[in-house]
Amino acid sequence: MGEYVPSQDLLPRIDRGETVAIGRLITRAEGDVPEARDALANVYKRSGKAHVIGITGVPGSGKSTLVAAMTAKLVASGKRVGVIAVDPSSPYSGGSILGDRIRMTELANNPNVYIRSMATHGEMGGVARSTLATADILDVAGFDVIIIETVGVGQDEVEIVKASHTTVVVSAPGLGDDIQAIKAGVLEIADMHLVSKCDRPDANKTLTDLKQMLTLNAAKIAQSAWRTPVIGVSSLTGMGLDEFIAALEGHRKISVSSEGDKRRLEIAAFRLEKTAKRMLLEEFDKATGSARAELAHRLSRKEGDPYSFALDLVRSVTQ
């Protein structure tokens, strides 16, 4: 059937916004195809125009519906929007069923929207390994806003802060009495808090609780020029969406200020660390495969101890 198109050849097509080329380079980033690294490096250097927004929240908080609603708003205001929707892989098979597109059906045929579903493939922290590379590709392809919707397993999805310029934490009424953001350990990471489903009567309590909790945390927040807003929205009635979009715009202004430089540095440091660690692991796997099997046998026969054997393995890669 088709023949292999070199990744470098995809670049001019991506610049023109050709969907097929964009999709293919993302696939290669996801598969960590060595042939694609130069092209991805090129993309990285040219990226940086788009506003990257991370959306996180516990299951059932209405993230996907919200992403659909905000995307529609942004597109209506003339923006081009890329959406990266991350879902968990099955721990048993490594496979996944990714269903986030269903909530975004109305956007499926809009030429100004690009949606990509992505599985975590064992990655912790709420984003997939190639999420950032994907954001870069969409950035150079001319998307103005890139929305990353995290897994939403409900806890420790803090990596999104280091992957996005603006992090939004979504809570919903009726999911239990506790403040979900606390339970999920993401209260502090938010640049803004959203309470979805505010067409429901029990939403007020969630809003009040969240505001109160943030006041208690005010000490930390006071150091920043940005006041973390708590915004009630309803994807059903459209309430609060304009306020939310305005807040995103406001935060973007901060993220290009000196405070923004700090954020960008954090993002770069994280990216560097992640990429290096992955490369190191790969090297390790490649370089020590046979030695490892041999050492394991010797270890099982008690011919040595795990600490010195492991050190040997590590040194064989790093020296």
Partner 1 sequence: MSQPIRVLLAKVGLDGHDRGVKIVARTLRDAGMDVIYTGLHRTPDEVVNAAVQEDVDILGVSLLSGVQLTVFPKIFKLLEEKGSKDLIIVAGGVMPDEDAEAIKKMGVAEVLLQDTPPAQLVANLKRLVSERGPR
Partner 2 sequence: MTKALDKATADALRAQEKAWEANEVAGFLKKAGETKPAFFTLGDFPVKRTYTAADIADTPLEDIGLPGQYPFTRGPYPTMYRSRNWTMRQIAGFGTAEDTNKRFKFLIAQGQTGISTDFDMPTLMGYDSDHPMSEGEVGREGVAIDTFADMEMMLEGIDLEKISVSLTINPSAWILLAMYICLAEKRGYDLNKISGTVQADILKEFMAQKEFIFPIEPSVRIVRDIITYSAKNLKRYNPINISGYHISEAGSSPLQEAAFTMCNLITYVDEVLKTGIKVDEFAPRLAFFFVCQADFFEEIAKFRALRRVYAKIMKERFGATNPESMRLRFHCQTAAASLTKPQYMNNVMRTSNQALAAVLGGCQSLHTNGYDEAFAIPTEDAMRMALRTQQVIADETNVTQVVDPLGGSYYVESLTTEYEKRIFEIIDEVEKNGGVIKLINDGWFQRHIADFAYETALRKESGEKPCIGVNKYVDGTPDPKIHTHPYDYSTAERQISRTNEVRKNRDNKKHEELLKQLLVVAKDPNQNIMPVSIELIRNGATMGDLVETLKTIWGSYRESPVF
Residues in the site for partner 2, rule: CB under 8 A? 97, 99, 102-103, 105
Please say whether the beta carbons of 298 and 309 come within 8 A. yes
DSSP string, 238-256: -TTHHHHHHHHHHHHHHHT
Query: Which x/- pattern over 69-108 shows residues binding partner 1 (rule: CB under 8 A)?
Result: --------------------xx-xxxxxxxx-xx--x--x
- In angstroms, the Cα distances linking 167 to 21, 54, 229, 280 are 29, 5, 12, 29
**What's the DSSP call for residue 230?**
E
Structure tokens at 112: 């100004």
Query: Shortest distance, CB of residue 74 to partner 2, whole angstroms?
Result: 20
Q: Considering the complex, what minimum distance in angstroms separates the CB of residue 200 from partner 1? A: 24
CA–CA gap between residue 190 and residue 61 (Å, rounded): 15
Rounded to a whole number of angstroms, the minimum distance from the CB of residue 3 to partner 1 is 8
Q: Which of 15, 44, 73, 121 binds partner 1 (CB under 8 A)?
A: 121
Residue with tokens 């991805």: 40
90 binds, among partner 2, partner 1, none (CB under 5 to 8 A by kind): partner 1
Backbone φ and ψ of 169, nearest 5°: -105, 125
288 contact, one of partner 2, partner 1, none, CB 5-8 Å limit per kind: none
- The span from the CA of 124 to the CA of 160, in Å, is 11
What does 108 bind: partner 2, partner 1, none (CB cut-off 5 to 8 Å by kind)? partner 1
Could you say whether residue 276 binds partner 1 (CB under 8 A)?
no
Q: Of 169, 166, 159, nearest to 145 (Cα)?
A: 166
Q: Pick what 119 binds: partner 2, partner 1, none; C-beta below 5 to 8 Å, kind-dependent.
A: partner 1
- Report in angstroms how near the CB of residue 23 gets to partner 1 at its nearest: 3
Q: Provide, rounded to whole angstroms, the least separation between the CB of residue 154 and partner 1.
A: 21
What residues contact 113, with CB distance under 8 A and at least 6 apart? Answer: 71, 75, 80, 81, 82, 83, 104, 107
Nearer to partner 2, 93 or 215 (CB): 93
30 vs 136 by CB, closer to partner 1: 30
Residues that bind partner 1 (CB under 8 A): 1-2, 4, 18-20, 22-24, 26-27, 30-32, 89-90, 92-99, 101-102, 105, 108-109, 114-117, 119, 121, 282
